Structure 1
Amino acid sequence: MSSSSLADQVRKAAPSIDSVVSEYCAGYVSYLASSSASAAANVESEVTFVRDLLVNAGASTRAVTALAQNLLAELVPLYKAKAAAADHGNSAVGSGTSGSGGGKLLDQALVIGAQRDAMSSVGLFGTTIDLDAVGGRKVDSRVDKKKLEKAERKIQAKLEKRAIKNVEYEASKLINAASTGEDYDEFFLKVNPLQLGNGGGANGGHAKSKDIKIDNFDLYVGAGQRILSDTSLTLAYGRRYGLIGQNGIGKSTLLRALARRELSVPKHITILHVEQEVLGDDTPALQSVLDADVWRKRLLKDQDSISKQLAAIDDQLNELPQVQDGQQQQQQQQLENDRAELDATLNEVFAKLTDIEADKAESRAATILFGLGFSAAQQHNPTNSFSGGWRMRLALARALFCKPDLLLLDEPSNMLDVPSITFLSQYLQGYPSTVLVVSHDRAFLNEIATDIIHQHSERLDYYKNSNFDMFYATREERRKNQKREYENQMAYRKHLQGFIDKFRYNAAKSQEAQSRIKKLEKLPILEPPEEDQTLTFRFPEVEKLSPPIIQLENVSFSYDPTKRTILSNVDLSVQLDSRIALVGANGSGKTTLLKVLTGQAEPTKGMVQRNARLRIGYFAQHHVDSMDLNLSAVAWMAKTWPGKSEEEYRRHLGAFGITGTLGLQKMQLLSGGQKSRVAFACLGLNNPHILVLDEPSNHLDTAGLDALAEAINKFEGGVLLVSHDVTMINRTTRQLWVCDDGSVTQYHGDIEQYKRDILAKADSSGVVQKH
């Protein structure tokens, strides 16, 4: 195989890294293939050098490993053939030159090996190595010397950045220390040195700026897939940023990189990332939140320990006789010195506890927990008694209680109900530090965001002093202006080019044609404006039915007759023209009501009437649990709803944005939003009359939410929607029913009035507090 062919393999194996780096490696491989300087024994180390260089530059480990195997397969036979040819030539000349020929070959092998070692340590990042001089002869090289120097500088910068191991702080794991294998308390104390003064509390009194400015960085996910390129991140202290973008664009990856300090966040800035649920144990929920502030916990422990030591010293002093010998006097003096030292230390502990307002901690923790849905009784339940969703709320409560300088939230509304989202929104509006939240909940972003960051096309665009609605309007205006400018330039270019083509060879007009050629060359090259991703969901047409469709009369339900009743005396009907939103706190019985409506659970009292021909499309909140993720979407649908051809299944999936090969790959490779789209596609397979949707907006991006809302509005059957997404409720429903303490009643007002009632109730009880 030719050296150019091997170089092309290098380029194909690393298409996403900087071109100067890939060209550098391609040139190096070309040199290896065209040179007779190496021996077969050294090929493996040379290929390893190229492989490591590509991986460190951000190439896919899997692709580069395959490349290395191919290079070895090509180069080893090549060098063996060259060695055999050299031996044959030396033997033909005579024994007198044979030794020198063999020595020459060995010397050359040592030279290139030494060269590689130098490049991998000092030479690559220091002096420039002349590849042509190696081996004593000139070799055609594809590497431009200036590009080589530039590549060396870039590689050095990337390797230095990746070599930084900030062992001091991996903040995302403060929520769940088990993932590090390190004790939470020890880890917290190590990474959060207590800094006091100026009334700032723990970590709040230093004069250093808490603004974050990270310039010109690349960010990768998985095996070398780049999600941000030559990007800058700017977060002003005290601002609340909404980070938005399509599903799979890398928003969560950016949050994790900040939390783990893979990006250079200043060390004096504390970070908490609500990513993992709290581990369950026998610790009460309230104590778990208090324990999250390890400095307070440690200071209280020190206070108790010092107080006990002082009491012991007082007892010893009281036991000493009034008349003392020299040894007893010395002992008394020592005890008094120890007491003075302990008094001084205790005063310092008191000062620190006062500075961090430790006396208010319990009431503040209880307020946060109550706002997130934990009743006074639940706050004293052990953490292992809560489900995963409630432990995520507990993780959020711990983060809010610690008040980090940078709070990172990833889709927090997915784990909350409307009352809790209302509380969180109100709480964050008074939050004193910086917040970066990933969310597709427009109403939530409208309430809490002071700025929007739009992640797309490997870059971040900033919209200052904007909530979601303002961002959307501004971005649309930007896009229209860019499109208008682009179209105007294209028309002008076409006009100039037409004149040039017509009069280029006309002697009388040649000067004007040349003038227009210069104008054309000076025009800036504009990129066509980015088009928004558009999705269209489509539910099937509805066969008409005579009422009643679904009727609940005096229905009660309990999983265990000896325990509390989940639903009590519920009267509710759903017709083909119904557009009902069901809201209420988590645990109030909303999902249970849906199960009774759909026939998955039988009422313990009362009657449920359903039309005999009724078909229901049910979207479960945890729909992924029912999917076989080892199958493709097409295979799973064929297995679960047989009777159609593969083409019909693919066409049906295409109506919900699962197009091309997405329907044929394993569902475990799909994003959360794509799995949801598969679930929505399955709703239409039985041509339902009624859609019962339990939290359908979770995991969908803006385009998916728009498509779902439009599809619901076009659906001609009835809809019963359980959702925390205020925007989705406003866009798709006409009636609001509230589930509270087992009762289900119609609310005579819209969702905004319902939220105002929640805030009024919280304010009267003192739950929502400004910071």
Structure 2
Amino acid sequence: MSNIGLQVRQAVPSIDPVVADYAVGYINNIHQATEDSVFAQQLDVEEEVGFISDLLKNAGGDAAKVDKLAQSVSAKLLEELKSNQAKLELTGDTSKRLLDVNLLKNHASKRNINTSLALLGVSRDIEHAGRHVESKVDKKKLEKAEKKIAAKVAKRANKFVKYEASKLLNASEDANYDEFFLKINPIEFGSGAGKSKDIKIDTFDLYIGDGQRILSDASLSLSYGHRYGLVGRNGIGKSTLLRALSRRELNVPKHITILHVEQEITGSEISAIQSVLDADVWRKQLLSEEKKHQDRIQEIEELKKEFDEESLEVKKLDNERDDLETHLQEIEEKLVEMESDKAEARAASILFGLGFTKESQQKPTNSFSGGWRMRLSLARALFCKPDLLLLDEPSNMLDVPSITFLANYLQTYPATVLVVSHDRAFLNEVATDIIHQHSERLDYYRGQDFDNFYNTREERRKNEMREYENQMAYRQHLQTFIDKYRYNAAKSSEAQSRIKKLEKLPVLQPPEEDKVITCKFPDPDVLSPPIIRLQEVSFGYTPEDLLLQNVDLDIQMDSRIALVGANGCGKTTLLKVLMEKLRPLKGYVTKNPRLRIGYFAQHHVDSMDLTTSAVDWMSKAFPGKTDEEYRRHLGSFGITGTLGLQKMQLLSGGQKSRVAFASLCLNNPHILIMDEPSNHLDTAGLDALSDALKNFKGGVLMVSHDVSVIDSVCNEIWVSEGGTVKKFDGTIYDYKKYILAAADASGVVKKH
């Protein structure tokens, strides 16, 4: 069709060229199909033009202008179709085969509009039966155009929306760390100076992958230098929010650097300390550029010797050298600004605080377990000092000494921190503000740590409930009067007045009730002492390399013991010796012959068959009860309703933990030995666990990093360090002070 390209651009002048060109080509193909005797009979012009109309509107075109264009194009195509069919009836010409109309039908379906926005959403330009034409699309230009389309769609709706990009852009090809870092945080020389580093994102929606909305008309406000604790129940979408921020899917200003500690690093032959140094990609890139510029300047000086001083070649080389020296000065200023010369000492200090000895800092990263690699990820983030540091449950992989170091480090962190955590003590030390995510919204509690937030939120909820109940009572009062006097002639005007009042009252919703989670460990029968005792126990896998020496530990029916210490110092080994899974090289383990022990393993999920339900798994692992009895038992740990009948892989981490708690109680244990029971539990789950352990009539020995749970449950602190285990004289908070004093004496704890 003549001038169709001009008509499209006049109707939708602001549309992206990629979409406009595709629309023009599509219309021309329809026009060509009208000339074919076979395809013309199958062609539905109005449906095809309607598809293009929807496409242009979805890409940002004005609805009125697009509809006008569609009517004009449709009328011309129908006229030409009618004319061509009349000619073909006379000539019988069936030689033209310009376009497979089934392809048009396929891509005209409503479900393909989004993919067609991205050039049909296929990896080839045109598809034909039996023949393929490889794509000649410039992928870099396409990627740039796609970003513009997505930005316009989001801006028009003033929302964060998902945008399905072209499949020509292979999303599965993940960029390496350096490329991803520089994509999210491009190096800027001076352009960010003086700009505010506060973050303010108004009225956005956020969805998870399956289309479920987790935030609606939400606003995110982060003041630079504040440390925010993001709290909410399990599964509410806190990690999704952090991920959207870390990828700039939410509109964070480009001059603000972002780093997200999300997963463990991939192991390699690079040493731990070099891995931390390489994490600062800016420094790494700048040092590389600095060396290249210096080498080139030196090369230019050598080249100049080969030419006459007044020659054109020398002038060109001088100009190049001047440009290099200017850029070199910018690089050196940037390196001074980031204190590049102090980098190695700072990296070593951070690693030491997170539990890496001087020797282990030189080990390759592939020699560390998953937990230690997570620590490396955390160390890399702290070393980079981004403007916005995003931490997702950082304490889950850390021991008490490392958590103490991290909390102390973050207290003087100069930029913005947003941390997801359920560790109350950690949030009390770190957070300057709390953000509560619930009911598809974010509520702010400014200037409050977790305890203050918890009290304020409860007071706020009570006030909302009071207001709701008062309004409901007032509504009922008005309604009672209306029902009584609506048809009373003397009182009808008063009844009408109350009807108007009732209509004007704001509609209040009852405040959201926190889901109550319960845990209850069954009371064991009484045993006479000794219950279980270690006497002069030493253990090692070889006599020359002992992990534990001369350990004396006594657990009674009323014991509440917290076993703390750095990771790798033998805590889990001691638990296995207690349960006689490991035999000591020296000393004795004595216990009451009737003693039953319930053991909660740190990696308890590994022993579960997640493809079955909790009821089925328990009936196989601990037979002897009916399904109803198993369901009732699970209910005492908060696994109520149909949760016990779902496949366990569908349960949250906290729900799986509660299934494990329920299973270890089936033999009515006298002693509970628990290795990191607080991992994956939200605030309600932690409260339930603490209450259950306090009310348990047997003894408790717990390895935990959660200071709040330890303080709530335990009255004895046992410390594993220096190859032995000894009772600590003081509370868990006294132990934290002891750790900080030791770190301060060694020079680990420093201001940034």
How high is the TM-score relative to the length of structure 1? 0.76
Hey, what does 1:117 align to over in structure 2?
52
Hey, what does 1:558 align to over in structure 2?
540
Match of 2:479, SS state, is helix
- 2:63 matches 1:127: yes
Hey, what does 2:174 align to over in structure 1?
181
Hey, what does 1:223 align to over in structure 2?
210
- 2:439 matches 1:457: yes
Aligned-residue offset at 1:750? 0.4
Match of 1:444, SS state, is helix
- 2:662 matches 1:681: yes
Distance 1:434 1:338, change over 3 A: closer
Match of 1:565, SS state, is strand
Task: Tell me which amino acid in the other structure corresponds to 2:258.
Answer: I
- 2:566 matches 1:585: yes
Quick one: which of 402, 419, 424 aligns to 1:437? 419
Aligned-residue offset at 1:503? 2.5
Separation in structure 2 between the aligned mates of residue 528 and residue 362 of structure 1, nearest angstrom:
56
Hey, what does 1:401 align to over in structure 2?
383
- 2:267 matches 1:280: yes
- The answer on whether the counterparts of 2:188 and 2:255 sit within 8 Å (CA) in structure 1 is no
Aligned-residue offset at 1:241? 0.7
Distance 1:308 1:117, change over 3 A: closer
Hey, what does 2:373 align to over in structure 1?
391
Aligned-residue offset at 1:310? 5.9
Separation in structure 1 between the aligned mates of residue 462 and residue 319 of structure 2, nearest angstrom:
78
The 5 A counterparts of 1:352-751 are 352-562=334-544, 564-751=545-732
Separation in structure 1 between the aligned mates of residue 320 and residue 479 of structure 2, nearest angstrom:
93
Match of 1:531, SS state, is coil
Hey, what does 2:255 align to over in structure 1?
268
Aligned-residue offset at 1:240? 0.8
Aligned-residue offset at 1:758? 1.2
Aligned-residue offset at 1:212? 1.4
Q: Greater CA deviation, 519-528 or 406-415?
A: 519-528
- The answer on whether the counterparts of 1:589 and 1:739 sit within 8 Å (CA) in structure 2 is yes
Task: Tell me which amino acid in the other structure corresponds to 2:549.
Answer: S
The 5 A counterparts of 1:23-34 are none
Distance 1:156 1:299, change over 3 A: closer
Aligned-residue offset at 1:344? 5.6
- The answer on whether the counterparts of 1:240 and 1:436 sit within 8 Å (CA) in structure 2 is yes
Distance 1:516 1:308, change over 3 A: closer
Task: Tell me which amino acid in the other structure corresponds to 1:122.
Answer: K
Task: Tell me which amino acid in the other structure corresponds to 1:683.
Answer: L
Match of 2:546, SS state, is coil
Aligned-residue offset at 1:327? 10
Task: Tell me which amino acid in the other structure corresponds to 1:162.
Answer: K
Distance 1:106 1:230, change over 3 A: farther
Match of 2:541, SS state, is coil
Task: Tell me which amino acid in the other structure corresponds to 2:49.
Answer: A
Separation in structure 2 between the aligned mates of residue 428 and residue 549 of structure 1, nearest angstrom:
43
What per-residue deviation string (whole Å, max 9, x for no partner) do you get for residues 200-244 of structure 1? xxx9x5222221111221111132111111211111111111100
Hey, what does 2:162 align to over in structure 1?
162
What per-residue deviation string (whole Å, max 9, x for no partner) do you get for residues 457-509 of structure 1? 11111111111111111111111111111111222222222222222233333
Task: Tell me which amino acid in the other structure corresponds to 1:383.
Answer: T
Hey, what does 2:230 align to over in structure 1?
243
Separation in structure 2 between the aligned mates of residue 757 and residue 115 of structure 1, nearest angstrom:
73
Task: Tell me which amino acid in the other structure corresponds to 1:118.
Answer: S
Q: Greater CA deviation, 596-605 or 417-426?
A: 596-605
- The answer on whether the counterparts of 2:563 and 2:701 sit within 8 Å (CA) in structure 1 is yes
- The answer on whether the counterparts of 2:599 and 2:674 sit within 8 Å (CA) in structure 1 is yes
Task: Tell me which amino acid in the other structure corresponds to 2:63.
Answer: T
Hey, what does 1:195 align to over in structure 2?
188
Task: Tell me which amino acid in the other structure corresponds to 1:300.
Answer: L
Query: CA-atom RMSD, angstroms?
Result: 3.3
Separation in structure 1 between the aligned mates of residue 186 and residue 330 of structure 2, nearest angstrom:
16
- The answer on whether the counterparts of 1:556 and 1:569 sit within 8 Å (CA) in structure 2 is yes
Hey, what does 1:9 align to over in structure 2?
none
Separation in structure 2 between the aligned mates of residue 329 and residue 156 of structure 1, nearest angstrom:
58
The 5 A counterparts of 1:256-335 are 256-307=243-294
- The answer on whether the counterparts of 2:261 and 2:392 sit within 8 Å (CA) in structure 1 is yes
Distance 1:393 1:179, change over 3 A: farther
Separation in structure 1 between the aligned mates of residue 735 and residue 154 of structure 2, nearest angstrom:
56
Q: Greater CA deviation, 324-333 or 719-728?
A: 324-333
Separation in structure 1 between the aligned mates of residue 48 and residue 324 of structure 2, nearest angstrom:
65
* Structure 2 spans left out of the alignment, 5+ residues: 1-37, 79-151
Separation in structure 2 between the aligned mates of residue 327 and residue 770 of structure 1, nearest angstrom:
53
Distance 1:375 1:329, change over 3 A: same
Match of 1:685, SS state, is coil
Match of 1:594, SS state, is helix
Separation in structure 1 between the aligned mates of residue 198 and residue 154 of structure 2, nearest angstrom:
27
Task: Tell me which amino acid in the other structure corresponds to 1:439.
Answer: S
Give the length in aligned residue pairs. Answer: 631
* Structure 1 spans left out of the alignment, 5+ residues: 1-102, 137-151, 167-177, 198-202
- The answer on whether the counterparts of 1:673 and 1:699 sit within 8 Å (CA) in structure 2 is yes
Match of 1:366, SS state, is helix
Separation in structure 1 between the aligned mates of residue 317 and residue 416 of structure 2, nearest angstrom:
49
Hey, what does 2:16 align to over in structure 1?
none
- The answer on whether the counterparts of 1:125 and 1:153 sit within 8 Å (CA) in structure 2 is no
Distance 1:494 1:650, change over 3 A: same
Separation in structure 2 between the aligned mates of residue 717 and residue 450 of structure 1, nearest angstrom:
39
Match of 1:517, SS state, is helix
The 5 A counterparts of 1:42-191 are 109-122=44-57, 126-127=62-63, 157=157, 161-163=161-163, 181-191=174-184
Separation in structure 2 between the aligned mates of residue 503 and residue 363 of structure 1, nearest angstrom:
84
Separation in structure 1 between the aligned mates of residue 504 and residue 266 of structure 2, nearest angstrom:
63
Separation in structure 1 between the aligned mates of residue 485 and residue 312 of structure 2, nearest angstrom:
113
Separation in structure 1 between the aligned mates of residue 296 and residue 661 of structure 2, nearest angstrom:
66
Aligned-residue offset at 1:113? 3.7
Distance 1:115 1:302, change over 3 A: closer
Aligned-residue offset at 1:682? 0.7
The sequence identity of aligned pairs, in percent, is 64
What per-residue deviation string (whole Å, max 9, x for no partner) do you get for residues 282-318 of structure 1? 111111111111222233334444555566677889x
Separation in structure 1 between the aligned mates of residue 531 and residue 707 of structure 2, nearest angstrom:
27
Task: Tell me which amino acid in the other structure corresponds to 1:600.
Answer: K
Task: Tell me which amino acid in the other structure corresponds to 1:421.
Answer: I
Separation in structure 1 between the aligned mates of residue 466 and residue 313 of structure 2, nearest angstrom:
91
What per-residue deviation string (whole Å, max 9, x for no partner) do you get for residues 639-665 of structure 1? 111111111111111111111221111
How high is the TM-score relative to the length of structure 2? 0.78
Match of 2:204, SS state, is strand
